[in-house]
């Protein structure tokens, strides 16, 4: 085991990770490191001759403030039975380990994607883009494919990074039938090195995606939704009946009178939703609950004095989808913050990667402000939340005995 002394090392956005178990994966570390904020890249160091892990690695954050938060809050965090050491990285050590200038680990958003890059890395890079950027990528390639079909096929066949970036963008935006995405991915996804997606299927999917992008409309602007609150009963009475019913229901949502009950193995939690400030996120959560999506879903991550997380039907922390068919954008506002226990917020893997997973805070978590969409609060059942937050967990923060949502009910 090689240890690293980070005392007197200048502050930066890259942190050193020490005391890592030899069988610990980068994805396991990512789960822990994302508690401080979005992660740009994680790399473990391996012996070039034997291929064996050296027991340390590095994590690159978007900025030094998040890195400082990681050092303060995550040093000695338990992963795979080891207390991971987290401190500022020595620039020269980064240079020697990855043959870079020491300011990056080598996978910076915006750089050209290597043709040997793994599909999981591609997915992370695309997830860091906004909705508009992902849709532009789809539209531009679709236009290119229509004008130059043979060249488009050849480019997809030789440029694996581009091919998988398009797959991820189409999947995230929900603009292609899931069956088509499954056909493109095949049984081997994800893996590295990246297999080549079938060019024919990709070209067809891109054309479908562009058509669906044109037809997709966003939810009404928040300011327009707020204006509905000012409508009087007299004004509503002048509207056609079907319109009046829709607006009355929407007003109830905006005023917080519609909530969701989570019936768990330890009791019931009632969640009040902030429809006026996070309408798309509330709609997603409300509809998933109404459709029975959260039935028998585990609380797969519990961290005392921090938060409890659930919403993934696979129970792994890597699954789940939104009602929009893929990932959707953040709705972060200055009015909603992680101010104390009982705040309900979306889990994500970076900017604009919301799906079905969410967490409930057990204490103030201001370092998550601006990074996760707050969309509700615990109205009743905070003692149930505290019970779940106090269950015994293993080294990966998973409850040793299953705690789950038995069913969810939407008023």
Alpha-carbon distance 172 to 290, whole Å? 22
**Residue carrying the six token digits 């200038």:** 101
Catalytic one of 17, 359, 375, 377: 359
Alpha-carbon distance 266 to 343, whole Å? 19
Alpha-carbon distance 361 to 53, whole Å? 35
Catalytic one of 13, 28, 253, 348: 348
- For the question of residue 58 being annotated catalytic, the response is no
Catalytic one of 168, 372, 377, 398: 372
Catalytic one of 301, 338, 367, 377: 301
Closest CA to 226 of 197, 257, 251: 251
- For the question of residue 144 being annotated catalytic, the response is no
Crossing angle, helix 199-215 and helix 131-147, to 10 degrees? 120
- For the question of residue 368 being annotated catalytic, the response is yes
Catalytic one of 288, 368, 375, 377: 368
Extract the tokens encoding 9.
């090392």
Closest CA to 330 of 109, 75, 130: 130
Task: Please report, to the nearest 10 degrees, the dihedral formed by the alpha carbons of residues 311, 316, 318, 321 taken in order.
Answer: -40
- For the question of residue 359 being annotated catalytic, the response is yes
- For the question of residue 301 being annotated catalytic, the response is yes
Catalytic one of 261, 284, 309, 357: 309
What CA–CA distances, in Å, run from 294 to 28, 271, 320, 382?
Answer: 24, 14, 10, 19
309, 335 Cβ separation under 8 angstroms = no
- Catalytic residues, by residue number, are 301, 306, 309, 348, 359, 368, 372
């Amino acid at each position: 085991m090689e240890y690293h002394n980070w005392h007197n090392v200048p502050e930066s956005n890259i942190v050193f990770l020490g005391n890592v178990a030899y069988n610990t994966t980068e994805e396991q570390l990512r789960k822990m490191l994302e508690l401080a904020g979005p992660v740009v890249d994680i790399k473990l160091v391996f012996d070039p001759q034997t291929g064996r892990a050296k027991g340390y690695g590095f994590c690159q954050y978007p900025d030094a403030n998040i890195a400082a938060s990681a050092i303060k809050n995550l040093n000695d965090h338990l992963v795979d039975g080891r207390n991971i050491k987290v401190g500022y990285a020595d620039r020269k050590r980064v240079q020697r380990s990855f043959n870079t200038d020491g300011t990056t680990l080598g996978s910076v958003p915006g750089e050209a994607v290597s043709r040997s890059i793994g599909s999981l890395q591609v997915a992370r890079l695309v997830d860091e883009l906004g909705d508009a950027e992902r849709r532009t990528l789809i539209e531009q390639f679709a236009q290119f494919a229509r004008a130059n079909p043979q060249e488009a096929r050849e480019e997809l066949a030789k440029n694996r990074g581009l091919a998988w970036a398009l797959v991820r963008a189409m999947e995230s935006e929900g603009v292609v039938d899931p069956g088509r995405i499954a056909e493109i991915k095949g049984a081997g996804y994800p893996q590295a090195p990246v297999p080549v997606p079938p060019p024919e299927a990709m070209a067809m999917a891109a054309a479908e995606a562009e058509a669906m992008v044109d037809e997709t409309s966003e939810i009404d602007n928040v300011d327009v939704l707020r204006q509905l609150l000012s409508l009087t009963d007299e004004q509503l009475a002048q509207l056609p009946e079907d319109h009046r019913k829709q607006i009355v229901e929407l007003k109830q949502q905006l005023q917080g009178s519609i909530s969701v009950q989570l019936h768990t193995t330890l009791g019931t939690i009632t969640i009040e939703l902030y429809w006026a400030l996070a309408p798309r996120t509330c709609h997603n959560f409300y509809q998933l609950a109404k459709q029975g999506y959260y039935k028998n879903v585990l609380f797969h991550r519990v961290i005392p004095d921090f938060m409890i997380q659930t919403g993934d039907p696979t129970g792994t922390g890597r699954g789940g989808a939104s009602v929009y068919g893929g990932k959707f954008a953040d709705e972060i506002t200055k009015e909603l913050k992680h101010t104390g226990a009982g705040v309900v917020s979306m889990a994500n893997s970076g900017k604009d990667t919301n799906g079905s997973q969410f967490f409930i805070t057990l204490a103030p978590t201001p370092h998550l402000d601006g990074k996760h969409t707050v969309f509700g609060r615990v109205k009743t059942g905070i003692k149930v939340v505290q019970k779940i937050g106090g269950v015994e967990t293993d080294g990966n923060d998973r409850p040793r005995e299953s705690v789950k949502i038995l069913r969810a009910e939407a008023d």
